[in-house]
Amino acid sequence: MMTITYKVKNGIYVNMTNRCPCSCTFCLRHNGDGVYGSDSLWLEREPTVEEVCESIDKWELSDYDEIVFCGYGEPTERLDDLLKVAAYIKQKSDIKIRINTNGLSDLINGENTAPKLKGLIDTVSVSLNCVDKEEYFKTVRPKFGISSYDKMLEFTENCVKYVPHVVMTVVDKVTSKEEQAEARKICASLGATLRVREFEE
Ligand code: SF4
């Protein structure tokens, strides 16, 4: 069965694509095929906007804190469809909407994408992962090359202008305290907030 939406704690997670321009060394896509007891998040095909909206309609949104575009893939690979779904959610509910992203939306879509998020997305959470571009390139392995790191930071800085909450994340287990301190500085310079997260998320 195809899992389009699933529940994690107080959130409804939306899985719209398995595409991603990266190949992170730690990606869950390389490790088994279900998280949090959900069905496989490998999509047999990408669901249409209508199918995603129908899947969201199955949940009582007032019971949850947020809707998160996440899944086994990079949500901004389908940015325009994602924003159609976000607009649909906004007209029926005031639930908060978050995108978990690798931050490479501008490279994926070939344009400055942060302005499109205005009024539709409440939180953008960008995986910073590493505090220098060489390390990032080795770990995240983006197909766009070494400049991906700077483009990710630029996207994040742009998001601050259009989105109420902009967060960057590093994973606790794989970053030193020094790296976390450096990550905090990078976030402060962009206007974002650092969140040190556990591996599973
Ligand atoms: S950006 Fe996310 S989906 Fe893409 S390879 Fe990295 S961890 Fe996996």
What is the model's pLDDT at position 32?
A: 56
Q: Among 70, 72, 74, 169, which residue has the most ligand 1 atoms within 8 Å of its CB, making it the best to mutate?
A: 74
CATH code (residue 42)? 3.20.20.70
Count of structural domains within the chain = 1
Q: What is the pLDDT of residues 1-38, one digit of tens each?
A: 789 999 999 999 999 999 999 999 988 776 655 554 45
The residue contributing the CA closest to ligand 1 atom 5 is 23
Predicted confidence at residue 186, as pLDDT, reads: 98
Per-residue confidence (pLDDT) for residue 35, from 0 to 100:
53
Cβ 74 under 6 angstroms from ligand 1 = yes
User: For ligand 1, atom 6, which residue shows the shortest CA distance?
Assistant: 24
Out of 19-33, 99-113, 154-168, least confident range: 19-33
Residue 135 token pair:
């390390």
pLDDT of residue 37: 47
DSSP secondary structure string for all residues of 15-56: ------S---TT-GGGS-S-STT------SSPPPHHHHHHHH
Domain hosting residue 101, numbered range: 5-197
> Which residues 6+ apart lie within 8 Å of 198 measured at CB?
171, 172, 173
CB-count exposure of residue 56 (10 Å: 0-12, 13-18, 19+): buried
